[in-house]
Amino acid sequence: MAFTVRSSTVPLILSCAALLFGCKEEPKKEEPAPAPSASVAAVASSTPPPAPPPAPPKPREDCPEGSSGLGTSADPCKGSGDSRMMEVKWTGKTTDEGPKFAVTNKTKKAILYGSVAVYFYDKAGKQLEVTYGGKPRPMQICSGNIFAGAVKPEEKIFVFFSCVKKDHVPEGTAAIEAEAKGVGFANEAGTENEFYWSNMDLVPDQRPKGGVKVKGGAKTKSAKK
């Protein structure tokens, strides 16, 4: 039996088909991001900018002539060549207390702190090693407020260093020499170190008898008042 579809039912069938298979939806437009609230904007604008890094410390202006640095114990006024603030000489005498030294302050300021390197030589002028604590070393170092008080400007004193005893002197020693590789300038009361100076050129591990001769090196200068 044949079926006849009336034309009036065709639109209805097409409508049903559209519902079954669905229609393509138009893409949704993205909503714009909401503007920040006034309170958030106010907080952002009130945040201070990061602080700039601190300026590096300036070198001390009254370092002895020919030297520069902060003048602290960690970063002293650094000298070079044969520049010296003190002259340290062995008197030629060694007692039970140890070698005796003559120490002269060559500056216009009192010196409270000292770091002294002491070298020992045989008759031929050969440098001898110092054995202390079971370890050999090229020199004996003595550091601290080692002058039994401040050494006045241009003053000369005689002293036994407590850290250079008789048993530090190597066998066969014929000559002893010393260098003040570092000093601390005292305050007006002479009770504290105000600032420091050093010259490591004076104290190489291998030092010829008579000291290091630096051609064209800095001349010895006195500390400024």
Structure confidence by residue, pLDDT tens digits, 145-179:
999 999 999 999 999 999 999 999 999 999 999 99
pLDDT of residue 78: 97
Q: Is the pLDDT of residue 79 over 60?
A: yes
Q: What's the pTM value of the predicted model, to 2 decimals?
A: 0.72
Query: Looking at residues 198-223, what average pLDDT do you find?
Result: 75
17 CA to centre of own chain: 87
**∠ CA 137-98-152, rounded to 5°:** 100
Which of 122, 111, 105 has its CA nearest to residue 176?
A: 122
Query: Can you say whether the dihedral through the CA atoms of 190, 111, 129, 167 is positive or negative?
Result: negative
pLDDT of residue 202: 96
Instruction: Examine residue 9 and state whether it is found in any structural domain, yes or no.
Output: no
Specify the DSSP element, H or E, that contains 117.
strand 111-121
Q: What is the CATH number of the domain that holds 114?
A: 2.60.40
Please state the domain count of the chain: 1
Instruction: Examine residue 58 and state whether it is found in any structural domain, yes or no.
Output: no
Instruction: Examine residue 5 and state whether it is found in any structural domain, yes or no.
Output: no
Distance between CA atoms of residues 2 and 4, nearest Å: 7
Is 135 exposed, middle or buried (CB count within 10 Å of its CB: 0-12, 13-18, 19+)? exposed
Instruction: Examine residue 22 and state whether it is found in any structural domain, yes or no.
Output: no
Instruction: Examine residue 36 and state whether it is found in any structural domain, yes or no.
Output: no
Note down the domain range covering 85: 77-202
Distance between CA atoms of residues 101 and 143, nearest Å: 15
Of 98 and 222, the one with more pLDDT: 98
Largest CA distance in the chain: 147
Characterize the bridge pairing of strands 175-186 and 77-78. Answer: unpaired
pLDDT of residue 40: 56
Instruction: Examine residue 126 and state whether it is found in any structural domain, yes or no.
Output: yes
Is 217 exposed, middle or buried (CB count within 10 Å of its CB: 0-12, 13-18, 19+)? middle
Instruction: Examine residue 109 and state whether it is found in any structural domain, yes or no.
Output: yes
CB distance 123 to 195 below 8 Å: no
Q: Is the pLDDT of residue 22 over 60?
A: no
